[in-house]
Structure formats: structure tokens, C-alpha cells
Amino acid sequence: MTSSTTQSESTVVDGVHYHQHDIVIVGAGGAGMRAAIEAGPHASTAVISKLYPTRSHTGAAQGGMAAALANVEEDNWEWHTFDTIKGGDYLVDQDAAEILAKEAIDAVIDLENMGLPFNRTPEGKIDQRRFGGHTRDHGKSPVRRSCYAADRTGHMILQTLYQNCVKRGINFFNEYYVLDLVMTNVDGVDQPSAVVALDLSSGELHVFQGKAFIFATGGFGKIYKTTSNAHTLTGDGVGIVWRKGLPLEDMEFFQFHPTGLAGLGILLTEGARGEGAILRNASGERFMERYAPTIKDLAPRDIVSRCMLKEVAEGRGAGPEKDYLYLDCTHLGKELLETKLPDITEFARTYLGVDPVTEPVPVMPTAHYAMGGIPTNVKAEVWRNNEQIVPGLYAAGECACVSVHGSNRLGTNSLLDINVFGKRAGNNAVEYVKTASFTPLPEDPAKEVRELLEGIRSSTGTERIAVLRKILQEEMDKKAQVFRTDESLAEVTETIHVLRERYKNIGVQDKGRRFNTDLLEAVELGFLLDLAEVVVYSARNRKESRGGHQREDYLVRDDENYLKHTMAYLKGDAMSADAADHIKLDWKPVVITRYQPMERKY
């Protein structure tokens, strides 16, 4: 076994290691570790991660975590709730948004008490900066709501949570890749009984039996080529749930962050614009004044991304190909850039050879965040359908859809989401296991995973993983990015069907068992194909424009027909050639409490 904080003993049967814990958490990013901090002191808890915890993608989040602390200027949780709902283009479940905004304040204070080194005001309070879509008085002007640690907020959260997990003696299984959720039929109902993981260091299989399971496996931005997401964000947890016949919610909504380094996608935080950086076109015009006159460059991300692409399409782009725009930080001064935005300053220098202190930085939108995922209620319990939950199964973070982000997430609400609903998942799992029993395991719970891995390892196929992945990502970039049409979505659907057929003939060059990254990427590609297909199929079915889903052939938001969540279900064989054969779509009502949908003006 790989080293970790503490680890439970296991029994070995026919070469498979068996573990038993009350609560099994899959994923050791922000949501998973926040859940572990709540669960660990009260129940036997295991955290399984295919990465060392401090390499999780939470560490890449830069700008901050929203909370209406009112440390710098007047603010309250109701304004935060409204901004979240409006920012999500009214597809947000408003009961969940109220919880997010109310519990944000305690979530920040929890982290402060754990030792997180937030930036401070001269008076010693947690400092706050502006961020896109966050306003006072229900949209009248920008507000300083984002609590931050320079532009390394996610990194600081990840380190702080890990240190507190170590302090509590949490069981970590690092570099274990979970590949299956074992479901056992009990009285005619399928219930989770275990997860099966591959120990990357040895190639051995491990079965983790539990009473409750929390999925916190992050997003799936690697379905796109130009993305801020790490190479490992392949949607494994979401894909596992999908293959078990459980639904996925609102998968068509994917957020594109406005300021990725042009051509690379590496993120430059929205916090730069919160500190006063300005988006400019080739002529130096501050073009967002034309589109969002009230909050300008701090409009929500979906709006800014569309405006940027429009500027380029109408010939106002910069560079030899006129295919990017500029983020101008030059007026902010060297001291501010080096102290409050040190990482993005270094990124621009390292990857583009541009110094933000003296010259504008080339930027364009980059695939950033999945608003959709595993459907949950506000207790983080996973829905089996629109009316029933799956007892003992929870999800939190980007892999989950609660839905606090609707069709477009506001900046800084992601770090907030993982802390609020990670904490809720941990607490509710603890309550569940107090009265729950272990669900019996099937005779050979590792059978499906063993057959999957051996099938790939022993294949003599000639298709290469990198080639198929490149085709998928490039096609998704071209035809299912910020703007979509029925024609473009149909074309990429056909590409995915062809790639599925070619995937059946893959071969891996590395036949070994220890740290076989060739095998790992082959499995990950299977999940990417599954999820890209659900994204495209759901997008083609939603004939309107809303938030991160923009149809050039259906330009307006249609509340009469589409003010509802998409629910996608797997039926039949996931590997069949035609999505119509194995994807069924349904709808779920949006929870509306206080705020009726209105036109989004900024």
C-alpha cells in the first residue's frame, strides 16, 4: 500500500484486498476532505484518492471564496442569494442557494479557525475583494464579497483541510483509483455496498465496504482541449454513477472562464478584474462597457465569455490572427500584482513571455467548470429519480449538482460549495451510519473491474488512447463550446459514436501492473466519451439559450418550456452506437422560493 496518514487493516481473498469502514469518501479534494473532517471523529472513515490529496484540483482555484461577511463594505446573505440565482440564469434551486449564502459565513470562519491564512484588512479582519456577478442591493453596484489568500485561495484551502485531516487521524488511501460502485439488491432496491479501487502502485484491487459513500471526485473538463482543468479531471466519479443507471442532471451547462491564457487555457483569476484589471480589444477599448454598463468587466462569466467571442467574431480581436483579446493589469502597479496576484503574474511571464506589470496579457475563454453532475438534495443525498434518494449515497463538490449554480456558476461560489456541502455530506453521512447496517457484498464484487482492466491490458488493438482523446477534445472545442447549434451538436455526436467504435479496438503498450499510466488513461478515456456524449445529447435537447448553454439557432431564454432541470438516464448498453438507444431524457422542476425569473441586466 502507498503511504498515508493512517490506514486500516485489510483481509485478502483471491488476491483482492477487503476493507470495511462506516463511511467511504471517494476523492480527496476540498469537498472530500471537508466531509472527512466532519465524519472522521464520529465514524470509521476512509478517504480514497487517485492523487496525493494536496495535488487535487481544488488547489488550482485562485480568486477567493464568497461570503457576506461585510468586513469591507455593507453586505448580507440575501444579496448573495439573489446574485447566485440571477447569475445562474434562474435555473438555480433557490432553497439550495439560500443555504449556500447563509452558511457561507460559518464556512469561512471554520477555515479561519482551522488556520487558513486569509489576506487581512489593516484592522485585522479577513479582507474581501470584488468578483464577477456579486453585487449589493440586488444588482445596483459591485460589492466586495470574496474572501481570499492572494491568488492561491484554493491551494491554501487544500493545505489547511489536509493538515486538519492529518490532525484527526483520517484514513487515507492515496493513489488508489476507484473504478466501480458496487450495488446490492436489497428487497428489490439497489443499494451501495462497496467501491472497488485499483492501487496504482501495485496493480492490486481493493474492495472498500461501507455503510455510506460520499463521492467528491471533481469535474470533467478534459472533454475539451482548451481547459483550465488538470489532466486528471476526467469525470471518473460522475461516470461511475452514470454507468450504474443513476441519473445525471443539467449536463449541458458547462462554464467557460473568460480569462484563460490565449491558446493554452491556463487560468488567470477573475480576482484580477476584482482588483481593477480591464478587458480590452485590439484597439484598446474597454468593450465590456457596451455590454454590461453597470458592472462592466465583473459581469458573470457566461456573459463575459460570449462578449469576448463576439468581439473576436466582429474583427476586434488582437494578434496576427485577430483571435484573442487583452487583460490589462498595467495600471494596477507592480506592488499589487506581486502581492495580491503573484501566481497569475508568474503564469503570464512563464507561459507567454508577457509581463503584466508593463504589457497587457492575451486571453480567451477556457473550459472551466461543470454546473451539472450527480443530482443531490440539500442534504447531499443522491437522487435515484425525481422522487427517491439512494440510501447511503452522497455527493458534493463539482461532481454533484445540488443545484446552487444553475446554468452558470458565479466566481468564488465553487470553493464555497465544496465547504458548505462537503460539510453537510459528512454530517449527514454520520447520522445515517448510526442506524444503518453494512449491505451484503455480492460473491465477487471486483469482477467487473477485473474484467475491464484485463480486457484493456490484454487487448491487441491498434487504436491509441492519445489519438482518440485528441480528436474528442478538438471536436468538443469546435462544436460544443460557448456557442452551439443543432448542426454542430449533431456533428460532434456522430464523432463520439465513431470514437466509441474505435475505442473497442484500443491497445496499451504498457502491459505492467505498477503505475501503469497507459492503462489509467485508457479507462479515463472511456469516462470522457460517456460524459461528452451526455453533455452533447442534453445540449441538443435544450432548444433555448441560458447561462453556459448558448444556442445560436435558439437565441432567447425560454422559461415557458425550459425552466426545468434536464435529467439524463442510461438505458441499455452505454457502448451502443446511437445515443438514442441508451440515453433517456426527463425533466425535474426548478425550486423557486422568493425570486421569480426576470431579464438579466448588468
Q: What is the pLDDT of residue 2?
A: 37
257 carries a ligand binding annotation: yes
Q: Does residue 582 carry a pLDDT above 90?
A: no
Give a yes or no: residue 595 inside a domain: no
Say if residue 55 is in the same domain as residue 204. Answer: yes
- Tell me the CATH number at 404: 3.50.50.60
Q: What is the pLDDT of residue 547?
A: 96
396 carries a ligand binding annotation: no
115 carries a ligand binding annotation: no
Tens of pLDDT, residue by residue over 496-533, are 999 999 999 999 998 989 999 999 999 999 999 999 99
Tens of pLDDT, residue by residue over 420-430, are 999 999 999 99
Domain boundary among 93, 122, 153: 153
Which residue segment(s) compose the domain that 362 sits in? 257-366
- Show the cell assigned to 245: 443507471
Helix (H/G/I), strand (E/B), else coil: 22: strand
294 burial via Cβ count (<10 Å: 0-12, 13-18, 19+): middle
Q: Does residue 119 carry a pLDDT above 70?
A: yes
User: Is the bond leading into 8 cis (omega within 30 degrees of zero)?
Assistant: no
Residue found by looking up cell 480527496 in the block: 28
Q: How confident is the model at residue 1 (pLDDT cuts 50, 70, 90)?
A: very low
Give the integer Cα–Cα distance in Å for 197 and 383: 24
582 carries a ligand binding annotation: no
Q: How confident is the model at residue 189 (pLDDT cuts 50, 70, 90)?
A: confident
398 carries a ligand binding annotation: yes
As a whole number, the mean pLDDT across the chain is: 95
Strand partners, 375: 401
- Tell me the CATH number at 300: 3.90.700.10
Residue 145 designated active-site: no
Give a yes or no: residue 440 inside a domain: no
**Cβ–Cβ < 8 Å for 480, 491:** no
Phi then psi for residue 13, to 5 deg, are: -130, 120
Say if residue 132 is in the same domain as residue 167. Answer: no
335 carries a ligand binding annotation: no
Say if residue 169 is in the same domain as residue 23. Answer: yes
Q: Exactly one of 152, 301, 424, 457 is catalytic; name it.
A: 301
Q: What is the pLDDT of residue 4?
A: 44
**Cβ–Cβ < 8 Å for 566, 590:** no
Please state whether beta strands 16-26 and 45-49 pair in parallel, antiparallel, or not at all (unpaired).
Answer: parallel
Residue found by looking up cell 472530500 in the block: 32
The separation between the first and the last C-alpha atoms of the chain, rounded to the nearest angstrom, is: 53
Mean pLDDT of all residues in 215-222: 97
Mean pLDDT of all residues in 344-351: 95
Tens of pLDDT, residue by residue over 20-58, are 999 999 999 999 999 999 999 999 999 999 999 999 999
Say if residue 134 is in the same domain as residue 269. Answer: no
Give the integer Cα–Cα distance in Å for 537 and 594: 32
**Cβ–Cβ < 8 Å for 234, 222:** yes
Q: Does residue 576 carry a pLDDT above 90?
A: no
Mean pLDDT of all residues in 268-296: 95
Total-model pTM:
0.95
Rounded CA Rg of the chain: 23
Strand partners, 183: 192
31 carries a ligand binding annotation: yes
Say if residue 261 is in the same domain as residue 353. Answer: yes
Q: Nearest Cα to 206, choosing from 235, 240, 177, 232?
A: 177
